[in-house]
Structures are given as C-alpha cells and as structure tokens.
Amino acid sequence: MSEGSNFLVRNTMEILVWQMVDDVMRKFPEVCSCEGCRSDIVALALNQLPPKYVATEIGEVYSKSNILESQYRADIIGAMTKAIVKVTESPRCKRG
C-alpha cells in the first residue's frame, strides 16, 4: 500500500533561478519577456549551473534557498546573462 510521502526532492537551483529571473531580465529591456522566452532563459541558465537537490518536508519550503542564493548568486546571474543574450539573438516567439 502506498502512502503519500511527506517529503519532496527539489532542485534548489531551479527555484532560485525562477525567483531571480524577473529581476535579472529587468536589466535587459531588449529581451522578450513572453512566457516562452522566459522559460528558455531559465532552461538555458539551469543547463550551465550545477543542480542542488534538497529534500524538504512538505510545507517547510525554501528556508535553505536563501543560504544557497548568497553562495551562488553571482553564478546564477552570470548564467542568466548568457542565456538572455542567446534568447535576445533568437527569441523563440519570433523564430521561423
């Protein structure tokens, strides 16, 4: 019999990138901010960043992500900046 688990494994890096994407994109007014391009930026940035998995109890949420954020902030912004440059060159919504 399967019980519902009280724990979730999440990639904290992914949470952080989603949390920071709007702030970083605001510095690049030329980048398209539609949902598709925004998702592309997050995906491209995450491909350059090491995943940081944590097991969290449901409800506990992101208390640990603040620590990670200060540790990886510069890396995340760097990866996101590269991703934004790429998407600006070839926005998915204006391709084809």
- Which of these segments, 13-21, 25-33, 45-53, 75-83, binds Zn ion (CB under 5 A)? 25-33
Among 17, 31, 37, 79, binds Zn ion (CB under 5 A): 37
- Which of these segments, 22-30, 50-58, 59-67, 83-91, binds Zn ion (CB under 5 A)? 83-91
CB neighbour class for 13 (10 Å; exposed up to 12, middle 13-18, buried from 19): buried
Q: Which residues, 6+ apart, have CB-to-CB distance to 68 below 8 Å?
A: 12, 13, 16, 52
Among 8, 43, 61, 93, binds Zn ion (CB under 5 A): 93
Among 32, 49, 80, 84, binds Zn ion (CB under 5 A): 32
Count CA within 13 A, CB hemisphere, residue 16. 28
